Chains A and B, each alone.
Chain A
Amino acid sequence: MSAGHVLFTILFVCALGFFAANIQRLIGELQLGHTDDARWNDLPTRFGNFLRIGIFQEKIFRDSIAGPMHAAIFWGFGILTLGTIEFLLGGVIPGFSFQPYFIAPVYAFFALNQDVWAALVIAAVGMALFRRLTKRVKRLQGAETHPNDPLLILSWIAALMITMFAYEAFEMVAHPETLTPMLRPISFGVAMAFSWMSPSAAAVAHDLAWWTHGLLVLGFLNYLPYSKHLHVVASLPNVFLSNTSGPGPKGVMKPMDLEGDLEVFGAKDVTDLSWKSLLDGFACTECGRCTSVCPAHTTGKLLSPRKIMINVRERLESYAHAADKSTVADRTLLDGYITEEELWSCTSCGACVQECPVSIDQLSVIMELRRNLVLGESRFPEEVMPAFESMEQRGSPWAFDPGDRGKWAEGMNIPTMAEMAERGERPEVLYWVGCMGSFDDRAKKTTVAFAQIMQASGVKFAILGQEEKCNGDPARRMGNEYLYQMLAKDNIETLDKYGVRTIVTACPHCFHQIGNEFPQFGGNYDVVHHSTFIESLLAQGRVPIVQELHGPVRTFTYHDSCYLGRYNDVYDAPRETLRRALPVINLVEMPRSKDKGLCCGAGGGRMFMEETVGKRINVERAEEALATGADAIAVACPFCMTMMADSVTSRDANVQVYDIAEVVAGQLRT
């Protein structure tokens, strides 16, 4: 064993030890967080996510330029890591190589891949550096980011590749007898360029390159834990551990245990967040994809979901590093890092969660912080107070008389559950109307239309009438878990009283809430959104509609509701419903549609708050819809209806906004 090997072995062991210590420090930091839901359950989904989103970079490819670039670096890194293992072992054990352990073609394949991928990585890194240095890519900008870190990392990776080629090539020059041009064609090419060197000079150059490479590898390993490129370590575990509960790409909101003796309400500081949210902070690459799709951010509000995650990590590190906790106690995540204005701008649209390539859940952090503001501090925009009070007093965020809830149905011969129960009957489905559908004049038209469709199709249904209450979604999304649980439990009691099993509703918020979040409190029902329900009625030929095959062709564009689309993956049913009802329809898509759809601006309780900063989100969306040239806009949510109708009619009075149920009802045979 040469002195070189001894020295390298010592360095290697120190580097590994240092890295291990750093990882342990990071795990210790995660342990400052709260416990979380089970994260080791549902393994098939988790491995699926790991493969799709992690290994195959599914979400990375949502950006057609950065996607291939990153994938080349990521896959290259994975493959080159095998080479690096061989390299490191060679540094410790004289003359070590994988070659004797594999049959020749396998080793040849391995060696060839090292060369090819290293070249690909250099190309991708070059592109990335060029892009960062010459083009101000919008999503990569932002006061919260650390712009020099990626430059350092990219250069570091380039240096790793270059030194690798260098030591391979100089080895070939120094030992021409071992030449294997077919195994490492690119290294061979480089070697040819240096063939003028004497073997002894090449041997010195080889050693130099080898040691530089070795030090760069060990240095890289130990720089990572301090860099935003910690995502190299944290993102794969993060993808594996990400939410699996509920349909759609993200989970439902976590219930709070309100019975126990709570000390903190929601989260005020990083130590109140779950360890998974803290891991999210480690995994964030500052890529800005979330912020670039955030409806609040893109219309000029202060909120940036990326900043939320960066703040989580910054605050965690400053908290964890302070030996004397009292020096950091005068600030919290909510005091000095994230402002209330940011938190209240969120529409809970889920676009950030959808877009994040490493499956970070920014929304949970926002919601936990909102909970603290409302439940702990009673601090929220004052416009919200009447909605809270009314939900509590009258079971609806608007001050309507609960006795009028079923008024829209007068004269329509629609029974209530109570009436049916009295007659000893049971409906096929319960029609859950929701507050908007019951009280809002525009939404009531949708309500009536959907009821007419069901009547015409012979569906035996009933409503709850004045026994129905707000499902609590606005309260929950505004952080008022206490009020939410009160409403949810009341509703579950009513539903269970009648033994309700199947529920249809025209409101995606009711749909999501009752179907996905009521199970947290023992309410288990089959909930179907009216888009799916009508589509299946149409498919079964149960709806008596006039099929106008020769009428004027109407151009529709469909606006996706966040709670139907991103939250529940229902994209096709509403579109299919339109196609079936209007066979000659011309359905055009907006640039941002389906899981990239832009929120209408009403979710997350934003419906009840003023929107004074920046451009109004519904205006932005209406302009996008009108730009398609459609003569009608279809929605499948009463909240979207209000927001879209408000902004569309004031811009182009000729364009109508319809709920899909209205479109179908308009075709009913009379």
Chain B
Amino acid sequence: MKIAVCIKRVPDMDVRFKIGANGTSVDEAGLKFDISDFDGYAVEAALQIKEKANAGEVVVISLGADNVQETLRKAMSMGADRAVQLKHDAPVFDSFAIATALAAELSTGGYDLVMFGRMSIDTANQATGTMVAELLGLPIITAISKLDFDGGTVKARRELEGSYELVECPLPAIVTIDEGIARPRYPSLKGIMAAKKKPLETKPAQVGEQRYTLDKMELPAERAAGRIVGEGKDAVPELVRLLKEEAKVL
């Protein structure tokens, strides 16, 4: 089976962010980047499919400036066979514009299965995979936690609140991956060294028209420190007053 996994380079979420000088981007100084979490699960799931069948190819694709090459290499160090960078130096926020570029690339690849993470963990639009499916006219199953194949059919399980559903559709198809499917492997040094020799192809991204633009980015307001109103019974009236007037919860 020939599988494509579309991955995104995102900043490590445990680090405090700063907004860049232009007010519409994140200041990248001091940030560390990695494969978006759900995309990592997708890569792992793809590799397991290939290993189980002992045949096939896993191609990772990412859109962005040259720094995505590092992300692609990481996926190859996990075991992906080759990579495609859809080069676009300016950041793209419009999911549809990204989907257009990806669909253009995917349509010529002859893939049996295209995988996405359920969403990226930085912008969390959950849109690109679905839009690509629509553009390519392929069936899609979203947010799946388990994956199986039966001849030309993909069978997937989706977690719902308190229950789950089993869905299937014919290949070729698109799936988006939820966590819990498989823990991404830690690249071995063997993998890292092998990845250096694997092919990474760079092509200009045919990004579609960007119909929405980012106006402004802001950090959430710092939470104000707690305040001690007083102690014992005497503090109650003041507390009630504050809850009514300031917090407006009463």
Contacts and interface: CB of A to CB of B under 8 A. Distances in A.
Nearest to B188: A378
Q: Is the interface of B mostly helix, strand, loop or mixed?
A: loop
Contact of B16 (A375, A388, A393, A401): A401
Nearest to A400: B14
A375 B15 contact: no
Contact of B15 (A380, A392, A394): A394
Interface residues of A, number: 26
Contacts of B186: 378, 380, 385, 388-389
Contact of B32 (A374, A378, A380, A393): A393
Nearest to B32: A393
| Most A Cβ at <10 Å: residue of B14, B30, B186, B190 | B186
B53 interface: no
Interface in B140-192: 183, 185-192
B16 A265 contact: no
Nearest to B33: A393
B34 interface: yes
Interface string B187-218: 11111110000000000000000000000000
A402 B30 contact: yes
Contacts of B16: 401, 403
Contacts of B15: 394, 401-403
Given A382-B183, A400-B14, A401-B15, A262 B189 contact: yes
| Most B Cβ at <10 Å: residue of A375, A377, A382 | A375
B12 interface: yes
Contacts of A262: 189, 193
Interface string A362-392: 0000000000001111101010010011101
Interface in A264-284: 265
B190 to A, nearest CB: 5
Contacts of A394: 12, 14-15, 32
Interface string A466-481: 1000000000000001
Interface string A243-256: 00000000000000
A576 B193 CA distance: 50
A261 to B, nearest CB: 8
Contacts of A6: none
A3 interface: no
B189 A258 contact: yes
Interface in A221-266: 258, 261-262, 265
| Most B Cβ at <10 Å: residue of A262, A382, A402 | A402
Tier of interface size on chain B: 10 to 19
Nearest to A376: B190
Contacts of B191: 378
Interface in A642-667: none
Contacts of B188: 265, 374-378
A482 interface: yes
Q: Is the interface of A mostly helix, strand, loop or mixed?
A: helix
A481 B187 CA distance: 13
A378 B12 contact: no
Nearest to A258: B189
A401 B189 contact: no
A399 interface: yes
A393 B33 CA distance: 8
Contact of B12 (A265, A385, A393): A393
A261 B192 CA distance: 12
Contacts of B189: 258, 262, 265, 374-376, 481-482
Contacts of B32: 392-394
Interface in A398-425: 399-403
A388 B187 CA distance: 11
A401 B15 CA distance: 5
Interface in B1-58: 12, 14-16, 30, 32, 34
Contacts of A392: 32
A466 B32 CA distance: 14
Contact of A403 (B30, B34, B183, B187): B30
A278 B156 CA distance: 52
A406 to B, nearest CB: 13
A618 to B, nearest CB: 27
A459 to B, nearest CB: 30
| Most A Cβ at <10 Å: residue of B30, B34, B189, B193 | B189
Contacts of B187: 378
A315 to B, nearest CB: 22
A579 B71 CA distance: 55
A401 B193 CA distance: 29
Given A401-B15, A403-B16, A375 B190 contact: yes
A382 B30 CA distance: 28
A20 B77 CA distance: 50
A568 B30 CA distance: 35
B176 to A, nearest CB: 23
Contacts of B193: 261-262
B75 to A, nearest CB: 14
Contacts of B34: 393
A376 B186 CA distance: 11
A387 to B, nearest CB: 11
Contacts of A400: 14
Contacts of B192: 482
A401 B17 CA distance: 10
A6 B148 CA distance: 82
A355 to B, nearest CB: 33
A399 B190 contact: no
Contacts of B190: 265, 375-377
A401 B14 contact: yes
Contacts of A258: 189
Contacts of A482: 189, 192
A399 B15 CA distance: 9
Contacts of B14: 390, 393-394, 399-401
B99 to A, nearest CB: 29
A383 to B, nearest CB: 12
Contacts of A403: 15-16, 30
Nearest to A263: B190
A374 B185 CA distance: 11
Contacts of A380: 186
A258 B193 CA distance: 9
Nearest to B14: A399
B73 to A, nearest CB: 14
A179 to B, nearest CB: 75
A374 B186 CA distance: 9
A388 B34 CA distance: 14
B189 to A, nearest CB: 4
24 contacts: A261-B193, A265-B189, A265-B190, A374-B188, A374-B189, A375-B189, A375-B190, A378-B186, A378-B187, A390-B14, A392-B32, A393-B14, A393-B32, A393-B34, A394-B12, A394-B14, A394-B32, A401-B14, A401-B15, A401-B16, A402-B15, A403-B16, A403-B30, A466-B30
Given A262-B193, A382-B183, 16 more contacts: A258-B189, A265-B190, A374-B188, A376-B189, A378-B185, A378-B187, A378-B188, A378-B191, A385-B186, A390-B14, A393-B14, A400-B14, A401-B16, A402-B15, A403-B16, A482-B189
Q: What are the 6 closest A-B residue pairs judged by CB atoms, nearest first?
A: A375-B189, A378-B188, A393-B32, A399-B14, A393-B12, A482-B189
